[in-house]
Amino acid sequence: MSTLIELRRRELDRRQKGLRTELKAWTERTQSDPLRRHLSQVARVSETLNGLLSVFENDPKWKNPDDAAVMERGAAWEMLILTAYSAWDVFREKLALRLDHSFRDLLVGCDDLMWECYEPAMSFYSPGKPKQPPLVYLSSTWSPVLRKRDSRFQDEVRVGLDASGEALHHPACLETIQKLPIPLLGLPWFQVAHLPGALLIGHEVGHAVEFDFQLTDVIKEALRNARLTERYEWIGCAREVFADLYGCLSLRKYGACAMLNINVTSRDAAQDPGFGLYPPRALRIRLLVCALEHLDLPDDAKYVRDLWEATYGALPESIDVDKVVTAIYTSSALQLRSYLKPPAGNIERIARLAVDNHANLKLETNARDLFCAARHIHETGTPAELDAATPRLLDQIVNGHAGQYRYRGKAVANETDLKSQMQHQLLADRQAGIAWLKELGFD
């Protein structure tokens, strides 16, 4: 009959091996669609967590334990396993939704939209060591939200009220979970029923670009030099201003109109002149209009202006708004317009092809164009037309990039090339996991 100590050690062994088995299974899942796009993300997280669990391969007290070692170290080993499970759970549930046919095409399509908005910045700002693009998921927030890399994931970690919950709130544990290498981009659950709202992804990618490529100081410096009347107020909301302007550049009036929708409020609130984390609503819409004018899209600008003013009256004129847009779009340090171009496809034609279920829709594969077409149908067509066109547009987005592997935003020809490119990064990820052991007291 086994002793209590033997049973305890055996139980811990099964727990840590169970996670390794699951990570291996997920790596295998990402070798085929619809998860092929995420092979590099899963591989990086897996290797980091395998490094974190390497104590079970290397610690002599684990490999040849006596009763005293198990009693003294058992709780710490268990916290380590819990930390690894909790870190993986942050990503597991988001990836698992892609296996559900109700959500698969939407999330894969949003992955591709995010990629097309993010990849140009990644290639420009970080060609030598590009970042891993965000992972899109569904959340309970009312609008899209980015959890940047190195975010604290306390709200993502589910804990109980027992000792395990206490362990997962340990500062060293939280610091470990914080360092996973992939940012997250959450969409509201109701986005499943309304594809055109997903164009807010362009705004959230703007936040990812700012954080990933350390542009915060550059953005603020551009505003400081713009000779603004309300300089302090504009700098205070610089992050949202940059994200709005990035969204316009990524998705033209279609991204701007998605922003209009979440700014609908009472007439009094719409005219409130107060600054905060965001510019005042009316000035924010004026910013979008000015951005489209600056991008040589006067018809887009007029459309957005007319749509807002039909409900709320004339937008305020502001010298500051013009200066803000000019400062960001012409900054020699940012160079936004040199690497990111507005969608160039014939959006109205693509929308009509989708509504009519025309065979030529099969020729369209650009995710930005196809999402903009969904927005166009929403704004100019009927609900029935949007209902009919949405699955056709999603099918085009998903199949347009089917079979692709991606590493840090770039399309990779095959799995062999992907593994070759990732070799050094995976070694670094494993070493990062091993380094976390010291932070958790396993040195």
Residue 372 to residue 343: CA distance in whole angstroms: 9
Average pLDDT of the segment spanning 136-140? 82
The answer to whether residue 159 scores a pLDDT higher than 50 is: no
Q: Supply the Cα-derived Rg of the chain in whole angstroms.
A: 24
pLDDT at 179: 56
**Cis peptide, bond prior to residue 144, ω within 30 of zero:** no
Residue 136 to residue 140: CA distance in whole angstroms: 13
The answer to whether residue 165 scores a pLDDT higher than 70 is: no
Q: Please, what's the largest Cα pairwise distance for the chain?
A: 83
State percent of the chain over pLDDT 90. 44
Nearest to 294 by CA among 322, 271, 264: 322
The answer to whether residue 148 scores a pLDDT higher than 60 is: no
The tens digit of pLDDT for each residue in 244-269 reads 999 999 999 999 999 999 899 999 99
Residue with the bigger pLDDT between 270 and 369: it is 369
Each domain of the chain, given as residue ranges in start order, spans 1-99+413-443, 216-333, 347-400
Average pLDDT of the segment spanning 305-323? 94
Given pLDDT bands bounded at 50, 70 and 90, which one contains residue 160? Answer: very low
One-letter amino acid of 95 = L
What are the b/e assignments for 216-225, b being 16+ CB within 10 Å? eebbbbbbee
Residue with the bigger pLDDT between 272 and 172: it is 272
Average pLDDT of the segment spanning 71-75? 83
Residue 94 to residue 117: CA distance in whole angstroms: 21
